[in-house]
Structure 1
Amino acid sequence: MKLVKHIANLGYGSRKQVTAMFREGRITDADGEVLYADDKPAHEAIRIDGQPLDPPPGLTLLLHKPAGYTCSTKDVGRLIYELLPERFRDRSPLLSPVGRLDRDTSGLLLMTDDGALLHRIVSPKSRLDKVYEAELAQDLRGDEAARFASGTLLLESDDKPLLPAELEVLSPRRARLTLHEGRYHQVRRMFAAVGNHVQALHRCRVGGLELGDLASGQWRQLHEADLKTLFGHDA
């Protein structure tokens, strides 16, 4: 791939704008030597205004999504891309959320521009558990764990029962729920099906990955070791 297109695809600007950066001498190698558009340096050797390039395609992030942000590039209101460097929104291929957390749900959100990895993560064959903590409007009755684990719970508008899920009671109005599938607004609909209402929802684990000490609104790049942790085996 030509250098101008490579840099433009990372979101630094249009090809015309990147070409202007070359003319202005803003693109150099690690030693400060000016690069030209027909040069072929390694990605890690390129600098723009003295700063290393963003990661190349194949980027995967773990974001601690705050409540109030939408997993979209176009919706009205606060978007998850506002929590990332501005040019990440303009990368090609697009850096996409892996599945979605609704606007009012916080917690662990994966994002990637690797289509094959995205499909692998969301595929039922990967069997990646998702763990949520829910704050509820009413006290738990005591029969919820058995109903969720039964494999017979049918949600409104669905024609197939849910897979068994595990409920751990944390307090009368707080619970941890482990899911083995991903349906639209599943946690909220499950508690609605047993006569309760989720007031706050937080995803704390996907597969083997947890948020750790990542604060709300922060993100970090994932590497090969993280993907092994995510899948619980060699990635």
Structure 2
Amino acid sequence: MKLLRLIANLGYGSRKDVQRMFRDGRITDPRGVPLDADATVPHAKIRLDGEPLDPPPGFTLMLHKPVGVTCSTHDVGRLVYDLLPPRFRLRRPVLSSVGRLDRDTSGLLLMTDDGALLHRIIAPKSHLPKVYEATLAQDLRGDEAALFAAGTLRLEGEATPLAPAHLEVLDARRVRLTLTEGRYHQVRRMFAATGNRVTTLHRSRIGGLALGDLPEGRWRALDADDLARLWGLERGDDGTGGPPMPAC
């Protein structure tokens, strides 16, 4: 792909904006030699104002979404894109959230411009486990773990029962719940079915990827090792191995 189109597709500006960058000598090789807009150069050999370009298409990141932020491109209030560099919203292919966390839920959110990866993660047949920590309005009644594990619970308005889910009780009003599907507001509706209400909800893990110490509101790019852990978690692995990536 020619440099003009590549850099515009990464969201750095319109084609006119990028043409101006070339005219001003801002786009160079690692030695500082200006590049031509029609050239074809390896991605790693391109610099804009002396800095490497953002990752090429096939880019995936993890974000620690705060409460009060919406997984949407257009909505009232703060959006997940407000937590990222502005150019990320303009990338082509588009950088999309992988599934959603509602405005009142915090935690791990994946975003990618890789459509095949996105569909593989959210496909029901993937059975990719997602781990949530929830605080409840009332004490547990005691039978929730067995009910959720049975695979017979039907949510209000749905005919198909939920897949079995694992509930770990942390105390009378705090739980850790592992799901392998992603229905609309599923955790909240599961506890509503028991007569309880979720007051806080946080997603800490997807597959073998955990938030770790990534601060709220921050993001980091995922590398090949991260994506391998997403799918290849071994029992007992805490999902945090491998070299750390810089938080942004």
Q: Percent identity?
A: 71
Deviates more, 1:117-126 or 1:128-137: 117-126
How far the C-alpha of 1:146 sits from its partner, in A, is 1.2
Tell me, which stretches of 5 or more residues in structure 2 are unaligned? 234-248
In structure 2, C-alpha distance between the alignment counterparts of 1:143 and 1:154, rounded to whole Å: 16
In structure 2, C-alpha distance between the alignment counterparts of 1:187 and 1:127, rounded to whole Å: 16
| Paired residues, number | 233
How far the C-alpha of 1:198 sits from its partner, in A, is 0.5
For 1:84-110, what per-residue CA distance to the aligned partner results, in whole angstroms no more than 9, with x for missing partners?
111111100011000000011001111
Alignment partner, residue 118 of structure 1: 118
Alignment partner, residue 173 of structure 1: 173
Alignment partner, residue 205 of structure 1: 205
In structure 1, C-alpha distance between the alignment counterparts of 2:139 and 2:127, rounded to whole Å: 31
In structure 2, C-alpha distance between the alignment counterparts of 1:98 and 1:152, rounded to whole Å: 27
Tell me, which stretches of 5 or more residues in structure 1 are unaligned? none
For 1:193-231, what per-residue CA distance to the aligned partner results, in whole angstroms no more than 9, with x for missing partners?
000010000001111111111111111111111111100
For 1:130-163, what per-residue CA distance to the aligned partner results, in whole angstroms no more than 9, with x for missing partners?
1100011111111111111111111011111111
Q: Secondary structure at the match of 2:10?
A: helix
Kindly report the root-mean-square deviation, in angstroms, between the aligned alpha carbons of the 2 structures. 0.9
Q: What TM-score do the two structures reach when normalised by structure 2?
A: 0.92
Alignment partner, residue 25 of structure 1: 25
In structure 1, C-alpha distance between the alignment counterparts of 2:15 and 2:157, rounded to whole Å: 48
CA contact (8 A) 1:126 1:231 kept: no
How far the C-alpha of 1:82 sits from its partner, in A, is 1.0
In structure 2, C-alpha distance between the alignment counterparts of 1:155 and 1:130, rounded to whole Å: 19
Letter in 2 for 1:95: L
Q: Secondary structure at the match of 2:108?
A: strand
Alignment partner, residue 138 of structure 1: 138
For 1:62-101, what per-residue CA distance to the aligned partner results, in whole angstroms no more than 9, with x for missing partners?
1111111000111110000111111111100011000000
In structure 2, C-alpha distance between the alignment counterparts of 1:130 and 1:27, rounded to whole Å: 42
How far the C-alpha of 1:126 sits from its partner, in A, is 2.0
Alignment partner, residue 241 of structure 2: none
Alignment partner, residue 151 of structure 1: 151
